[in-house]
Amino acid sequence: MKRIFIIIISIIYVICISLLIFKYTEEKIDRFNPLVKRQWSYAKVPNSEYPDKLSTKEIEEIQDYKDIESFDENGKKNSYLLDFKGFNPSEKYVKIDHKGKWVFFIDYISKAEYEKRIKQ
């Protein structure tokens, strides 16, 4: 009886530790998960009309994109939010190469291309 109790407690312990690890490393797991496909998505990000007037800290903060809503190539909203860094504070629309929540890279695009992809 004592042995079964120890096995059950051990299994519960392993499950709890696994859930905590997955909670904080979800995007890293997406990178290697063979069930998640790599795809292109499109998103609108915060920007600044006057990047020359921003301090270095403000430029870094405005380009640290968090919880960005994205749309796949068919214009359907993705079921998750993306986090990534940008490199041009004056641009507003991005094309994102990602696998799940893991972002490989972004490319800034025009408003016309963004609207064309979203309205399909």
Model pLDDT, residue 62: 76
CA angle 71, 74, 78 (to 5 degrees): 30
User: How does DSSP assign 49-95, residue by residue?
Assistant: S-GGGS-HHHHHHHTEEEEEEEEETTSPEEEEEEEEE-S-TT--EEE
Largest CA distance in the chain: 71
pLDDT at 6 > cutoff 60:
yes
At residue 63, the pLDDT reads: 80
Both tokens assigned to 75: 């214009």
Q: How many helices (H) and strands (E) does the chain have?
A: 4, 5
Residue 33 has pLDDT above 70, yes or no: yes
Q: What is the mean pLDDT of residues 63-79?
A: 89
* 60 vs 96 pLDDT, higher one: 96
35 DSSP β-pair partners = none
Residue 87 in this model has a pLDDT that exceeds 80: yes
Q: Which pLDDT tens digit goes with each residue over 110-119?
A: 999 999 888 7
- Look up the pTM and report it: 0.72
Q: Are 83 and 69 in contact (CB under 8 A)?
A: no
Instruction: Write down the pLDDT at residue 40.
Output: 94
